[in-house]
Amino acid sequence: MAMIELKCWSVSFNALKNGTKRFEYRKHDRPYEIYVTLWQREWNPETGYTGCELCHDVTFILYGGVFGIPEGYCIMSMSEPRVIR
């Protein structure tokens, strides 16, 4: 199964980690598809990567061009997070 590394700002990362956020809205510039694993690394713009990481499996994708999602973007729903560090 493919894994895609993503930079994730702290506010979004924390919501993913505690389970209140179960989706990603991203530019569709990578090979996103169902069952791909998203490897999300917490990023602080002042200090860089924090060392905290999560993995999620993509369970559904809504591609741009429908329901007001701009072309070239997508919304992905994800499995529960797996904490790596």
Q: Is the pLDDT of residue 72 over 90?
A: yes
Domain parsing of the chain, residue ranges: 3-83
CATH class of 3-83: mainly beta
Angle at 14 between CA 6 and CA 5, to 5 degrees: 10
Residue 4 contacts by C-beta under 8 Å, 6 or more apart in sequence? 30, 31, 32, 36, 37, 38, 39
Confidence grade of residue 85 (pLDDT, cut at 50, 70, 90): low
Confidence grade of residue 82 (pLDDT, cut at 50, 70, 90): confident
Which among 36, 21, 5 has a CA at the least distance from the CA of 80?
A: 21
Confidence grade of residue 84 (pLDDT, cut at 50, 70, 90): confident
